[in-house]
Amino acid sequence: MPDALPLYPSDFRTAPVAPLNRKRRKNPRTVTMPGRVGPHVKLVFAEMARQKLRYLDVAERSGVQHATLKAWRKKNRPGLESVEAVLATLGFGLVPVAALEALDHPELAGELTALALKMRMNIPQTWAALIDIGVEQKLLRMRADERGTILAEHEARLARIPANDNQKRRRKVA
């Protein structure tokens, strides 16, 4: 009986092991997409796969435990704070948007719907685009204010320089 099973646990260490004949994926994904989860969790797992992040990477950066992240796949639903932390780690934000029915002004709802149709987006995507535009405009105004302040400071410095020095500088430059 040469092919008999080992009788003692110590014999298992010396027993021959069959090689694994599995094919390896060319681009192994770190996270697979779960089937029946909410859209926020799908976004989390899709981004983790796209950015090739492992559970441990996201857990360390977000502060959400590794086991909690894995439990979102089948067992648990994530809380708001956990989803926000993980999405922030992945470079996303969670922004609540008003439904058309919740708006007090019906003309605003009509304009928002027309804009969404024109941009070929749904209402939440349109809200997100409007928020992005508003933030971009605010940043541009802040930059313009900074530039205006810098220019004013530069002109004040030039005004403090005596006139003769200004003429000498202009002659050297020209």
Q: What is the mean pLDDT of the chain?
A: 77
Task: For residue 95, tell me if it sits in a domain.
Answer: no
* Distance in angstroms (rounded) separating the CA atoms of residues 66 and 59: 5
Higher confidence at residue 91 or residue 100?
A: 91
Tens digits of residue pLDDT in 156-168: 777 777 666 555 5
Structure-block tokens of residue 169 = 């500088």
CATH number at residue 83: 1.10.260
Query: Do 50 and 117 share a domain, yes or no?
Result: no
Tens digits of residue pLDDT in 26-40: 655 556 666 777 888
Query: Do 17 and 68 share a domain, yes or no?
Result: yes
Domain count, the chain: 2
Query: Do 71 and 121 share a domain, yes or no?
Result: no
Pair 58, 50: CB distance under 8 Å: no
Query: Do 50 and 115 share a domain, yes or no?
Result: no
Instruction: Report the pLDDT value the prediction gives residue 104, as an integer from 0 to 100.
Output: 82
Dihedral sign from CA coordinates of 58, 64, 69, 70: positive
Query: Do 65 and 115 share a domain, yes or no?
Result: no
Higher confidence at residue 60 or residue 3?
A: 60
Task: For residue 94, tell me if it sits in a domain.
Answer: no
pTM of the model: 0.50
Task: For residue 3, tell me if it sits in a domain.
Answer: no
Domain final residue, candidates 60, 89, 118: 89
What average pLDDT score do residues 82-100 get? 86
Pair 34, 46: CB distance under 8 Å: no
Tens digits of residue pLDDT in 94-141: 878 777 787 788 888 888 889 889 989 888 888 888 888 888 888 888
Q: How long, in residues, is the chain? A: 174
Query: Do 83 and 111 share a domain, yes or no?
Result: no
Give me the domain span that covers residue 139. Answer: 100-173
Query: Do 66 and 120 share a domain, yes or no?
Result: no
Domain final residue, candidates 40, 57, 89: 89
Query: Do 78 and 105 share a domain, yes or no?
Result: no
* Distance in angstroms (rounded) separating the CA atoms of residues 116 and 68: 37
Domain final residue, candidates 62, 89, 116: 89
* Distance in angstroms (rounded) separating the CA atoms of residues 77 and 68: 9
Query: Do 45 and 113 share a domain, yes or no?
Result: no
Q: Cα dist. 115→8, 135, 136 in Å?
A: 75, 18, 19
